[in-house]
Structure 1
């Protein structure tokens, strides 16, 4: 029986992300006439790990946590994907996110497969010391299920560079002293002082901005004075907004988990960022803005909408409310299949997640290479490399879209799946 939630007095069946990603995969498999045997392989995950582990809290009590790591496919290289800490995370959500990572790394032309993981918890309810113990115990429990040439985690929702530093340190401490430095790249997204990449913090949001910029150039549209709204003002949403504002665009609405604000005259990205730093990460209470209903946020008059929060936010129940002519998916799976069909019929363009937010995993690849080769890259060099790589991927998606008369998501999936299919055909299937 479907779980339902009430929005504007309408009952909305809640569609899971796994259902969404499977619909997308089935549609793309039909477009490329995917080999039936390879389709069977890609339709399931390689490995699914569920871990229950105890951690002692600050008050001396022991709490049991549930952690996940799903490895979807590694035909193109080591598994790669983030770790998120969120109370709603479950095995189906992680399976969907792992599958999206497979398509994302394949589309970007990286030597990676797809994975995802996390812990079912609300990090705001735990102290920093508790979060460190939880993270280290989870990393220890994962053991050899992760590794720099096997499965490489990264930050995701509610995790950050500090989280990655704890995981790297825990993992390296299990190795012989002579081997520890060789395992620094077991995770990416680390602090700069622990082998992290300059600019990794902004790579995903910068990538979102770049794909919008490429789209605008293709459409011969100027971003100056264009209006945009952002759902989720975390790392991705902030950096995307930061670079758009520098381009002359104006932010007119923001939504986070605690509320929605708007101002048609514009909301300063940098001032709001400072406000959130002093307000436990929340946008509420920001001066000179109006507070609006959660669902009314989708109907704000704007040119560009950047969903950069969680999955399945744009549904058939709010798709018709959207005024934007472009949706740039900073989050993974923010748009359901039904909503996308409605939006495309309205003439709305959608830059799909596996393209739009791939700057993060491209940045992770740069960090992995930097650690692996014992190099240090400078910020300007990294941003230039990211721009060059993402521009190449965007061009391929655009060319496929136009030559095959497909929307951007379908074109991106065609490229991603064909690359994996080619690898299986060339290598064969063991035994």
Structure 2
């Protein structure tokens, strides 16, 4: 059964929306809970990376998803639906946890949600690669990024701002209900029926999906390209919450700025990029939008060098930066989808995404070291030449990748 284009976009927007909720929740709300529970900043710095470990290990989940699934329900569909239910159930269980009680229960609940969400992420990415045509991927990735940021607003902005008025229990149950409701569009869509020959061919290839991807021509150049681009995300934006905190901003102000204003700007950027990527082509979009990250670094460098900073200065910089972030993410994700094979989309896309996550972590560490020894202004200043270096790497490697006949058919419009 062929899925109509509108139905594809509705399904993907619902699933990516539910991905954004736990990510926003963990990035902004979980540290607050840790702090309210008496943990020091040093302890929080140890706990948070451990809780995000499931996302770093997504390449392992991708192998499991590709290998074990229900043929009747479909490879990715048979994983997504149960995982959504498990995530919602864990949120309901976590709603019964109370501040001041055992923190280990809270950590366990957060860890389980992260595991379920990361496997759902792998399955949804593979599902998107499978159902979207080349012409639909620009808008598809705009929907991916935009819906994710809408979910991020709910989990990272509204939850933090409404916790005191509505209560922890109510908000966690609300998150669970939203997760279940977002599963309905996929439930209403029947899995496509595939020919027996296709099923046999897929089953023979699933066990070597990851190795097959790594054996493709110039694949390591692709991974370097992805890493060079994603490193800037961690290098530039990871410092912002810490910088705001050092300025003495209240948590609700940080939550509003980074949990409401920033995702809204990223959503707008993603929608704009959906048009630009289709019209300009993958490479031109990547270079044009990537070069705009110089504006992001320059804006934060200006803020960090200003003695008196208020919201009239902060908001414009945050809005411009996150619009750029939304646009660059769409441009890169479109290429990553192009470089993913239809029948191993979960494995291929996730392998590239994990390399990007490692690069972001590396960029984050380097930026914090520079900020520690030289200050925020120096760190953001270093981001400008790094952006230029990243663009040079992207342009050079993309040209080399395109020389391989293996990839040309996927990028005829570049």
Q: Higher RCO, 1 or 2 (CA under 8 Å, sep at least 6)?
A: 2
More strand by share: 1
Fold-level match, TM-score > 0.5?
no
Range class of TM-score, shorter chain: under 0.3
More helix by share: 2
Q: What TM-score, normalized by structure 2, do the two folds share? A: 0.28
Q: What TM-score, normalized by structure 1, do the two folds share? A: 0.27
